[in-house]
Amino acid sequence: MVRSLKSAKKMRKKKDSSKKGASSSSAPNVSAKVWQPGVDKLEEGEELQCDPSAYNYLRAFDIGWPCLSFDILRDSLGLIRTEFPHTIYGVAGTQAEKASWNYISLYKLSNIVGKKRDLVPKPSKDDDDDDNDDSDMESESSSDEEDEDDSNKKSQPVLKLQKVAHEGCVNRIRSMSQTPHICAAWSEEGYVQVWDLSSLMNRLAESEAEKNNAPAAVHNLSPVIRFRGHKTEGFALDWSPIVAGRLLSGACNSRIHLWEPSSGTWNVDMNAFVGHSASVEDLQWSPTEPDVFASCSVDKKIAIWDVRIGRAPAISIEAHASDVNVISWNRLASCMLASGSDDGDISVRDLRLIQGDAVVAHFEYHKHPITSIEWSPHESSTLAVTSSDNQLTVWDLSLERDEEDEAEFKDSMKDRVNVPENLPPQLLFVHQGQKDLKELHWHQQIPGMLMSTAADGFNILMPTNLGSTLPSND
């Protein structure tokens, strides 16, 4: 398990990023090549460059200190939003240099302006017009550059922050989907707190007139409840998507506690769920069964629990050859559970076959610990992953190898980029440029939008090749 960001000082802006086919040499007349971390080395005179055509949107920002965990808040701006500009709300916890310097940050990023995807390819001009195209293209290029300069000036995002003092680093933070201003946070000091951030969210919503760079004061706000029953720190935390207010917290001492809402506060069951022999790293409620949840642990196991039948796991399986760091339960295909381990492996299991050979997909692309994994909320076969190898990868399990298509693609790209051999056909997209990636989330209401946090800040990205902009249950 690799988690801490406390060795990092103040955040730094993202310097380089690359995607599948986006790294290139600075030497003249040399074709670009895909950069593979752990495989390739930069030669003298070479540098990593981002391919902007790979993104409909890409932007970096920070909240003042490194962030180990964050969440994207559900808002009232529309259930499915596909048109720019976008506005997003989020909550994040800091990993400051001193315990007393930490805070929970509510943020609002507005005026997110990106490229609109052409759903129908633009028609090409007739070959007979080729002789007249050169002069037209030259004038259009000049005009496009001027338009782009004007557009860049108008398209800068606006970041607003509201901060709440938090003693100690924030190990993990999660917002309740049914009531987004209610947030739970794990502290490195060994307790879990629940906060009502409604007053600060209202301030964010009303802050359009403020200057973009106005400093945000740190407010002292008392939590609704603070639970010290774990007696040690932890990282596992999840709100139920079905029962509003129901919460799970898991600690490094292998214990899991169930929180039930009660008259504006919570009752925490001191009779812990016991079944793992080492630290509980992640928890996920079932998207369809209100009493069922999954857990993963440093003991290399994944367990399935039912709160109605006692405090021992209903099922426990040896899931990986090393620590199981993260899990994600697919909300569009509820039989599928994805997991990522300390050795870089990614597995997808069909829970209907959990007692037998349940692994339906397994990837060994990453060579460093998997730090976050999450199914897309809009494409049932799409999965996003972050790893300590500084890569964010997007996978589409519906893709299969087609040798004819691969040969055609490589032939079309041979003069532009050197495509690596033996990449998994399910590997849809690779994003690089962040240092020590820790967590990612899809935006639940903006199809194709991802956000990730790392030692050097946040990235918001919308890859161009993420399929339909409309939700799908296929």
Q: What is the pLDDT of residues 170-179, one digit of tens each?
A: 999 999 999 9
Angle at 465 between CA 464 and CA 467, to 5 degrees: 115
Query: What is the per-residue pLDDT across 186-214, written as a single tens digit (0 to 9) for each?
Result: 999 999 999 999 999 999 988 764 555 55
Q: Are 229 and 192 in contact (CB under 8 A)?
A: no
Instruction: Please write the tens of the pLDDT for every residue from 312-329.
Output: 999 999 999 999 999 999
Domain definitions of the chain by residue range: 24-119+137-463
Backbone angles phi, psi at 276, to 5 degrees: -90, 150
pLDDT value at 148 more than 90: no
Tell me the pLDDT band of 282, cut-offs 50, 70 and 90: very high
DSSP β-bridge partners for residue 268: 259
pLDDT at 82: 94
Taking each continuous run of H as one helix and of E as one strand, the counts in the chain are 3, 33
Is residue 139 predicted with pLDDT exceeding 50?
Answer: no
Question: Distance from CA of residue 241 to its chain's centroid?
Answer: 18
Q: How far apart are CA 461 and CA 60, in angstroms?
A: 9
The mean pLDDT value of the chain amounts to: 85
Q: Look at residue 403 in the predicted model and tell me its pLDDT.
A: 60
- Alpha-carbon distance of 247 to 261, in angstroms, equals 8
d(Cα 155, Cα 184) in Å, to the nearest integer?
34
d(CA 234, CA 295): 13
Q: 343-364: per-residue pLDDT in tens?
A: 999 999 999 998 778 999 999 9
**pTM for this predicted structure:** 0.85
Alpha-carbon dihedral 278, 341, 189, 220, rounded to 10 degrees: -150
CB 273 within 8 A of CB 236: no
204 in Cβ contact with 214 (< 8 Å): no
29 φψ region: left (φ > 0), alpha (ψ -120 to 50), beta (else) = left
Q: Which tokens is 32 given? A: 């670009």
The highest-level CATH class for domain 24-119+137-463 is mainly beta
Of the candidates 396, 383, 382, 467, the one whose C-alpha atom is nearest the C-alpha of residue 426 is 396
Which tens digits make up the pLDDT trace of 29-57?
Answer: 455 666 676 677 777 877 778 888 899 99
Torsion sign, CA atoms 137, 138, 139, 144:
positive
Q: Alpha helix locations (H) across 112-197? A: 130-154
pLDDT of 157 over the 50 cut: yes
